[in-house]
Amino acid sequence: MQTPDTDTLEQPVNPSRRSFLKGSSIAAGAFVFGFSFPFAKSALAGEAAAPEVNAWVVVQPDDTVLIRIARIEMGQGSLTGLAQLVAEELECDWDKVHFELVKPGANQARDNVWKSQATGGSTAIRGSHEYLRQGGAAARHMLVAAAANQWQVPASECQVDKGVITHKPTGKTTTYGAVATAANDITPPEKITLKDPSEWKIAGKAVKRLDTKEKVDGSMIYTTDFTLPGMLIAVPKACPVHGGTLKSFDAKAVQDMPGVKHVVQLDDNAVAVVADTFWRAKKALDALPIEWNLGPNASVSSASIAEKLREGLSATTDYVGNKVGDAPSALAKAEKVIEADYSYPYQNHAPMETMSAVVRWRKNGCEMWGATQVPESALAALAEAAELPQEVCEVHTMRIGGSFGRRLATDYVRQAALVAKAFPDTPIKLLWTREEDMLQGHFHPVTQCRMRASMDANGELQALHMRIAGQSILAHVNPKGIGEKGDPVMYQGLDPEGDMAIGYSVPNLLVDQVMVNPHIRPGFWRGVNLNQNALYLECFIDELAHAAGQDPLAFRRKLMAKHPKHLAVLEAAAKGIGWDKKPAQGIHRGIAQVKGFGSYVAAAAEVSVTDGKLKIHRIVAATDPGYAINPQQIEAQVAGSFVYGLSPMLSSECTVKDGRIEQENFHTYQVMQLRDMPEVEVITMPSGGFWGGVGEPTIAVAAPAVLNAIFAATGKRIRNIPIKNTDLS
Amino acid sequence: MKLNINGETKEVEVEADTPLLWVIREQLGMTGTKYGCGMSICGACTVHIDGVAQRSCVLPVSAVREDQKITTIEGLGVQQFHPVQEVWAELDVPQCGYCQSGMIMAASSLLARNANPSDEDIRREITNICRCGTYPRVIEGIKTAAKRLAAAGDQGGRDANA
């Protein structure tokens, strides 16, 4: 059991507006982080807070270095990578590094000194590496200057190694811990020169994660584990048809059940039972008579949604994402057009830790302890539901038991705050059941894609039209983001240039979209639209190669001459799988490549299909992320991303019946298990000069590489996943 | 009602149908054992009962006898880490970590009855769900822990009930 920092709001508010390069006072530091460190043993529990050197760095008298982490850790390992970037320039001893999580209210009070805390789109490292390294370098300058001042020598005569400062002419030494307090008063340098990555000693190295021990001895406290004295548990249920409302509920029927305190309506669409334990609250919720107004969507089904999408495949549209030459004319004139329709189903994020938040509402302030990928938005949602100014609210961010984009939404934050408001001064832990998590997701949207292409007599691709018909996430979460191209996020992996650029040169290319927005709530699901766009394009390119009677790699090479970085990872994956050599008897291969979230990625798969049963033997993945901050964590991300990307290909899908999602738990939403895991070989080949993400891009190449291998094995072209719906025998 | 958990006898007052998971988490305050599905599918709630992995989320507490020894992740490596925990830390197996208590309890139970599991044994026996996709390191971790146990002539019996 941990000691929660429950007194934050009682302390005087002392917002510091100093620049991030300058340290704040002890008092402000204490306000910001509280006097105790509740979230990890590694965060110096019980030790007094030292003055910070600057916003990113606190050095304790015992030379322990506390690095502040503003972005959210949810398994992707960026917490460690971000600390490596600060530590690299700080020149501290990595073995003495601990971490501390930043809170969004504190960030606002200090003029966003820690910049954006939002964590999504594989941006944690690529979006903050520069100012983190500057923060580390500034702290180093200040610590060295403090030592030089004490010695009355020029700072230029001092050097530092692993937190030990040496005055070269005299050989005198001191440590960061000894000069940290004095460094707090040093003016930060105006100009900072960052190291060339070739000089890195901590960044770029496969160091161990900072947060592993507490994950193997059970001591890590997730939101679901967090406890405050006198806390009650709320278990909610919302209308299973999205957009429907709560008609009535009979609280009397459950009010005498053991432990039940109250039944609370939440907005117009949900109800929560509040009890002394989760189990008692859940039992009462299961027994609670509830009636819903299901609304106009109660008859919607997967079939009716698919029909609307299918209409979109041939509808007229002005939304164009990529255009070269005149594909429609070329296709109209072509002797032969190769055409195929693909689809990708709804998916739930299904993180292992269900939605949860602990909130305590008081008339003078409201606090949340809990998981979110968007601390600033969570704080805003908390304050809005609490009906209090943001200045008197705070979110104590926590590491998350898996999120994958789900906690970019703050629906559960609002719910927790609404319940807490009904119980002033009583901490409330809102905890969703798995069933609620499955039904009330923010689902990876459905799309279909019609691919049409023509080739000349030599099998050279002449024209390609890719029509995407499907659901827009932006239309739900940020309609202002929809512009003249339609929803720009729907073109991920197909853009003319940039972080999501297509890797093929086609003389006549048209990528366009028709938005079809069913009532099922969409959201950003790890990999987002890159997942299906890569599947559509890479499987269809494979179809064209076979139609042209050409090797799929050779066929792609001809289209990729002007895309050397795309091609380099594809060649690396092909080489890794041994594309040049014949596979073993019964083994068949497929390849795929894409650029997404700033990184170039490719995969090559080996499969066998025996009596209709698929076995994925091996996948070789190649990633060029520009710079690799922690290669062993990149390896973990890539291997893990395949589990996320292969689950929808193998078995997981969310279907709709009577307006509601049908899958309520893991028995029907079947995600990949260890028995299906292929051997994974990860090639990381950073070529420098750009910063790409690694959490998401490789998800998108796993499925098409395997599907192309299945075609090689069986002659069956699977265009609608999951393959559990297809007989492979 | 009395429970023998991590080598101690604990008295709990709770409805008989309460799953062992929630007694461990809410009555006894040990939160290393996790709720994932509540249907005995995902394995996040795995504990040992008399040394054998059991999913605690659907097991009524009334079905556990006082003489049965329950071990949770908190009781697995009390004096020192169980070899599975040691290896897990060395290989950085966890990502988000939420499923890993259950994964470690399942792995240590497997090794207790099969000292040298093959890849196929591991693939068949470890059915815990990990959404982060730690599976390759889980396989490597179990095989490495098996070697370490064999070298030490140890069967992994270091938990609080051993």
> What pLDDT is recorded for position A413?
98
From residue A591, give the alpha-carbon distance in Å to each of A526, A588, A613. Answer: 21, 11, 20
Residue A413 counted as domain residue: yes
**Rounded CA separation B6/B76 (Å):** 8
Is residue B77 very low, low, confident or very high in pLDDT (cuts 50, 70, 90)?
confident
B10 and B61 assigned to the same domain: yes
Which chain A residue shows the shortest CA-CA distance from B18? A279
- Phi–psi pair at B96, nearest 5 degrees: -70, -30
Q: How far is A209 from chain B (nearest CA, A)?
A: 7
**Could you tell me which residues are beta bridge partners of residue A683?**
A622
- Tens-place pLDDT, residues A217-249: 999 999 999 999 999 999 999 999 999 999 999
| Contacts with A642 from chain B: Cβ below 8 Å | 133
**A162 dihedral zone (left: phi>0; alpha: psi -120 to 50; beta):** left
H or E segment at A623?
Answer: strand A613-624
B59 and B97 assigned to the same domain: no
Asked if residues A687 and A465 have their Cβ atoms less than 8 Å apart, the reply is no
Among A207, A674, A681, A698, the residue to mutate for chain B (most B Cβ within 10 A): A674
- Asked whether the predicted pLDDT for residue B147 surpasses 90, the reply is yes
- Calculated CA dihedral for residues A29, A30, A35, A38, nearest 10 degrees: -50
- Judged on CB neighbours under 10 Å (0-12, 13-18, 19+), A289 is exposed
DSSP conformation letters of A257-289: STTEEEEEEETTTEEEEEESSHHHHHHHHHH--
A602 and A704 assigned to the same domain: yes
> What pLDDT is recorded for position A49?
63
B72 and B88 assigned to the same domain: no
B51 and B15 assigned to the same domain: yes
A646 and A675 assigned to the same domain: yes
Domain count, chain B: 2
Residue A409 counted as domain residue: yes
**Rounded CA separation A7/A715 (Å):** 66
**A225: nearest CB among B31, B81, B93:** B31
A41 and A126 assigned to the same domain: yes
CATH code where residue A210 lies: 3.30.365.10
- Which one, of B30, B4, B153, B33, lies nearest residue B83 by Cα? B153
**Rounded CA separation A673/A394 (Å):** 38
Return the percentage of chain A with pLDDT > 70, whole number. 93
H or E segment at A175?
Answer: strand A172-175
Cβ distance of A674 and B122 shorter than 8 Å? yes
> What pLDDT is recorded for position B153?
77
* Span A108-119, average pLDDT: 97
* Span A388-411, average pLDDT: 98
Residue B32 counted as domain residue: yes
Among B30, B37, B93, B134, the residue to mutate for chain A (most A Cβ within 10 A): B37
A385 and A454 assigned to the same domain: no
One-letter amino acid for residue A79 of the chain: L
A159-165 CB contacts, 8 Å cutoff, 24+ apart: A160/A91, A161/A91, A162/A91, A162/A92, A162/A93, A162/A94, A163/A59, A163/A63, A163/A65, A163/A91, A163/A92, A163/A93, A163/A96
| Contacts with B126 from chain A: Cβ below 8 Å | 674
Mean pLDDT over all residues of chain A? 93
**Rounded CA separation A275/A112 (Å):** 38
- Asked whether the predicted pLDDT for residue A388 surpasses 80, the reply is yes
One-letter amino acid for residue B3 of the chain: L
Residue B41 counted as domain residue: yes
A329 and A362 assigned to the same domain: no
Domain's final residue, options A216, A232, A249: A216
- Tens-place pLDDT, residues B119-128: 999 999 999 9
Angle made by CA atoms B18, B19, B25, in degrees to the nearest 5: 100
Residue B162 counted as domain residue: no
Which chain B residue shows the shortest CA-CA distance from A227? B29
Asked if residues A524 and A349 have their Cβ atoms less than 8 Å apart, the reply is no
Cβ distance of A643 and B44 shorter than 8 Å? no
Residue B115 counted as domain residue: yes
CATH code where residue B53 lies: 3.10.20.30
**Rounded CA separation A422/A359 (Å):** 11
> What pLDDT is recorded for position A4?
36
Cβ distance of A674 and B126 shorter than 8 Å? yes
Asked if residues A358 and A366 have their Cβ atoms less than 8 Å apart, the reply is no
B59 and B95 assigned to the same domain: no
What token pair was written down for A438? 């499955």
Place of tokens 């690299």: A88
- Asked whether the predicted pLDDT for residue A392 surpasses 70, the reply is yes
Can you give the three-state secondary structure of A208-240, one letter per residue?
A: CCCCCHHHHCCCCCCHHHCCCCCCEEEEEEECC
- Which one, of A455, A466, A465, A467, lies nearest residue A559 by Cα? A455
| Contacts with B85 from chain A: Cβ below 8 Å | 216-217
**Rounded CA separation A83/A68 (Å):** 8
Q: How far is B53 from chain A (nearest CA, A)?
A: 16
The domain in which residue A171 lies consists of 8-216
Is residue A5 very low, low, confident or very high in pLDDT (cuts 50, 70, 90)?
very low
Residue B161 counted as domain residue: no
CATH code where residue B106 lies: 1.10.150.120
Cβ distance of B131 and A667 shorter than 8 Å? no
B92 and B134 assigned to the same domain: yes
A202 and A261 assigned to the same domain: no
Which stretches within A548-581 are classed as H helix? 552-559, 564-577
Which stretches within A456-495 are classed as H helix? 473-477
Domain's final residue, options A158, A188, A216: A216
- Which one, of A127, A136, A284, A157, lies nearest residue A201 by Cα? A136
Domain's final residue, options B46, B61, B76: B76
- Phi–psi pair at A318, nearest 5 degrees: -105, 0
Domain count, chain A: 3
A332 and A383 assigned to the same domain: no
**Rounded CA separation A432/A355 (Å):** 5
H or E segment at A708?
Answer: helix A699-714
A87 and A27 assigned to the same domain: yes
Among A2, A214, A215, the residue to mutate for chain B (most B Cβ within 10 A): A215
Residues 6 or more apart whose CB falls under 8 angstroms from that of A606 comprise: A577, A583, A587, A588, A589, A616, A617, A618, A619, A678, A709
Residue A323 counted as domain residue: yes
3-state secondary structure (DSSP) of residue A173? strand
Asked if residues A683 and A621 have their Cβ atoms less than 8 Å apart, the reply is yes
- Judged on CB neighbours under 10 Å (0-12, 13-18, 19+), A17 is exposed
Is residue A582 very low, low, confident or very high in pLDDT (cuts 50, 70, 90)?
very high
- Which one, of B129, B132, B134, lies nearest residue B37 by Cα? B129
| Contacts with B97 from chain A: Cβ below 8 Å | 75, 211-212, 214-216, 220, 399, 401
A396 and A489 assigned to the same domain: no
Residue A591 counted as domain residue: yes
The domain in which residue B126 lies consists of 83-152
> What pLDDT is recorded for position A40?
30
- Tens-place pLDDT, residues A515-524: 999 999 999 9
Residues 6 or more apart whose CB falls under 8 angstroms from that of A525 comprise: A347, A349, A404, A405, A406, A443, A444, A531
More confident residue, A51 or B26: B26
From residue A111, give the alpha-carbon distance in Å to each of A15, A16, A233, B141. Answer: 8, 8, 35, 45
Q: How far is A295 from chain B (nearest CA, A)?
A: 29
Can you give the three-state secondary structure of A625-694, one letter per residue?
A: CCCCCCHHHHHHHHHHHHHHHHHHHHCCCECEECCEECCCCCCCCCCCCHHHCCEEEEEECCCCCCCCCC
Residue A697 counted as domain residue: yes
Is residue A21 very low, low, confident or very high in pLDDT (cuts 50, 70, 90)?
very low
Asked if residues A643 and A672 have their Cβ atoms less than 8 Å apart, the reply is yes
> What pLDDT is recorded for position B160?
54
Among B23, B37, B96, the residue to mutate for chain A (most A Cβ within 10 A): B96
Domain's final residue, options A388, A405, A431: A431
Residue B113 counted as domain residue: yes
**Rounded CA separation A72/A119 (Å):** 6
A667 and A651 assigned to the same domain: yes
Which chain B residue shows the shortest CA-CA distance from A677? B135
- Phi–psi pair at A382, nearest 5 degrees: -65, -50
What token pair was written down for A266? 């939440």
Cβ distance of A218 and B31 shorter than 8 Å? yes
B69 and B110 assigned to the same domain: no
**Rounded CA separation A645/A62 (Å):** 45
Residue B60 counted as domain residue: yes
Angle made by CA atoms B60, B64, B68, in degrees to the nearest 5: 155
- Tens-place pLDDT, residues A435-456: 999 999 999 999 999 999 999 9
Residues 6 or more apart whose CB falls under 8 angstroms from that of A435 comprise: A664, A665
Mean pLDDT over all residues of chain B? 94
More confident residue, A265 or A8: A265
**A639: nearest CB among B26, B81, B136:** B136
- Asked whether the predicted pLDDT for residue B91 surpasses 80, the reply is yes
B44 and B104 assigned to the same domain: no
| Contacts with B27 from chain A: Cβ below 8 Å | 277
Which stretches within A459-501 are classed as H helix? 473-477
A206 and A227 assigned to the same domain: no
* Span A162-191, average pLDDT: 96
> What pLDDT is recorded for position B78?
84
Q: How far is A180 from chain B (nearest CA, A)?
A: 32
Residue A21 counted as domain residue: yes
